[in-house]
C-alpha cells in the first residue's frame, strides 16, 4: 500500500495487456511514509488491500509523522481516476500513443532485428555502402538493448498452466517426467555395471588377482552336454602335483575314447535285440557294462 505521487519514465520493460504483450517505459512514483520509490506497473496489483497491509501503512505513517489522507481527499482522488477512465481520446493522442508503442516495440522485437538483418544483407549484395553503414548501426543498437526485469516480448518460459489442464493432468505429466528420469538413471547404472564386469573378466583372463567382491555375477558359458572328446588344457594344480602323481591321475583321452565307443556298441546291440517289439527302455546299468567287458580270464573247472 502506497500513495501515488506521480509518474516517470525509465528503462523499458514488457507488460501484458488485454491486447497482448507491449513495451512501456512508464513507472509509478509511490510513497510509503516518507520514502518515495519508482515502481514498474508489473509490481502493482489490482486486488483489494488486506488488513495487514493497511495496518502496516498506518503504523509507518504514524512513526514517520505523515498524516493519513482524509475521506474527502480520497473521494477527490476517486473523481480524478474516473475522469482518466472516461477521458475521450482525440485522433492526435491516439496516433501519438500508437507511434510511441510501435517505436518501443520495434527496438526490442526479435522479428525487427531479423528484418533489419535481411535488409542489410540485401544492401551488401547491391553494393550500397551508405545503406549498409546505416543499417549496421541500427542493427547494433537493436542487438545491445535488453528489456528490464528479465521481461520479453516472446512467450514466457515460466508461463502459467493452461486453462484446460487439470490437477490430474499436471500430476500425470510430472509422473511421466519422473519415470523418464528413473529409466535414464537405471540405464546409466546398468551400463556402469556392465563396464565393471567387463574389466573384471579381462583381469581374470590375464591372470590378475581380483580382490573385490567375489559374489559378483560374471558372464559364463552354459554347458548342458558333456563331450568326452573335448580337449581341455588343464593347468597343474596349485600344490605342485601333476599328471604323474600316483593315485590322482585321470584316464587318458585315448582310454576315454575307447570306453565311449564300447558303450555305444553295447547300446546298439541292446537296441537290435528288440526286433521290432515295443519294450520299455531301460538304461545301461553297471552290471551290463561289466558283463560285456572281456577281462581275458580263463577259469578251469
Nearest Cα residue to 145 out of 121, 99, 113: 113
| In the predicted structure, residue 94 carries a pLDDT above the cut 60 | yes
Domains in the chain, number: 2
State the average pLDDT over residues 231-255: 47
Grid coordinates representing 27 are: 513507472
Residue 199 included in any domain: yes
Mean pLDDT of 144-158: 69
Banded model confidence at residue 49, pLDDT cuts 50, 70, 90: confident
At 161 the pLDDT is 45
Asked whether residue 194 is domain-assigned, the answer is: yes
**Confidence tier at 238 by pLDDT (50, 70, 90):** very low
- In this predicted structure, which of 21-25, 138-142, 197-201 has the lowest mean pLDDT? 138-142
Question: Which pLDDT belongs to residue 202?
Answer: 84
For residue 190, CA distances in Å to 144, 196, 212 come to: 48, 10, 19
Model confidence at 235, pLDDT cuts 50, 70, 90, reads: very low
Q: Is 178 part of a structural domain of the chain?
A: yes
Listed range (10-14, 110-114, 196-200) with the worst mean pLDDT: 110-114
150: helix, strand or coil: helix
Residue 43 lies in a domain: no
- Give pLDDT, residue 262: 61
pTM, entire model:
0.45
- Assigned domain for 24 exists: no
Q: Is residue 40 part of a domain?
A: no
Of the listed ranges 1-10, 78-87, 200-209, 283-292, the least confidently predicted one is 283-292
- Boundaries of domain holding 137: 108-142
Report the alpha-carbon distance of residue 43 to residue 186 in Å, rounded.
Answer: 45
73 within domain boundaries:
no
Residue 243 has pLDDT above 50, yes or no: no
Residue 256 lies in a domain: no
215 has pLDDT over 70: no
Return the closest-CA partner of residue 108 out of 11, 10, 9.
11
Look at residue 288 and tell me whether its pLDDT is greater than 80: no
Cα–Cα dist 78/94, whole Å: 25
Structure confidence at residue 29 (pLDDT): 92
Amino acid at each position: 500500500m502506497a500513495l501515488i505521487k506521480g509518474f516517470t519514465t525509465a528503462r523499458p520493460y514488457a507488460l501484458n495487456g488485454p491486447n497482448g504483450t507491449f513495451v512501456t517505459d512508464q513507472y509509478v512514483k509511490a510513497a510509503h511514509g516518507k520514502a518515495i520509490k519508482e515502481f514498474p506497473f508489473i509490481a502493482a496489483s489490482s486486488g483489494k488491500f488486506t488488513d495487514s497491509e493497511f495496518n502496516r501503512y498506518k503504523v509507518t505513517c504514524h512513526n514517520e509523522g505523515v498524516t493519513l489522507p482524509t475521506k474527502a481527499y480520497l473521494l477527490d482522488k476517486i473523481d480524478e481516476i474516473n475522469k482518466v477512465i472516461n477521458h475521450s481520446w482525440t485522433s492526435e493522442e491516439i496516433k501519438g500513443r500508437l507511434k510511441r508503442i510501435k517505436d518501443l516495440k520495434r527496438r526490442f522485437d526479435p522479428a525487427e532485428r531479423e528484418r533489419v538483418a535481411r535488409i542489410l544483407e540485401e544492401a551488401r549484395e547491391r553494393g550500397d555502402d551508405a545503406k549498409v553503414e546505416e543499417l549496421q548501426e541500427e542493427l547494433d543498437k537493436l542487438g545491445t538493448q535488453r528489456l528490464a526485469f528479465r521481461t520479453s516480448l516472446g512467450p514466457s518460459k515460466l508461463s502459467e498452466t493452461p486453462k484446460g489442464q487439470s490437477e490430474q493432468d499436471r500430476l500425470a505429466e510430472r509422473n511421466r517426467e519422473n519415470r523418464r528420469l528413473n529409466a535414464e538413471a537405471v540405464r546409466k547404472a546398468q551400463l556402469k555395471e556392465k563396464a565393471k564386469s567387463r574389466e573384471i573378466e579381462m583381469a581374470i583372463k590375464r591372470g590378475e588377482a581380483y580382490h573385490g567382491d567375489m559374489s559378483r555375477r560374471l558372464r559364463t558359458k552354459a554347458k548342458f552336454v558333456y563331450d568326452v572328446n573335448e580337449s581341455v588344457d588343464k593347468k597343474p594344480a596349485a600344490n605342485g602335483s601333476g599328471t604323474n602323481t600316483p593315485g590322482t591321475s585321470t584316464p587318458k583321452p585315448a582310454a576315454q575314447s575307447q570306453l565311449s565307443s564300447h558303450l555305444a556298441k553295447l547300446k546298439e546291440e541292446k537296441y537290435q535285440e528288440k526286433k521290432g517289439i515295443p519294450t520299455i527302455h531301460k538304461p545301461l546299468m553297471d552290471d551290463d557294462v561289466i558283463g560285456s567287458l572281456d577281462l581275458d580270464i580263463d577259469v578251469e573247472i
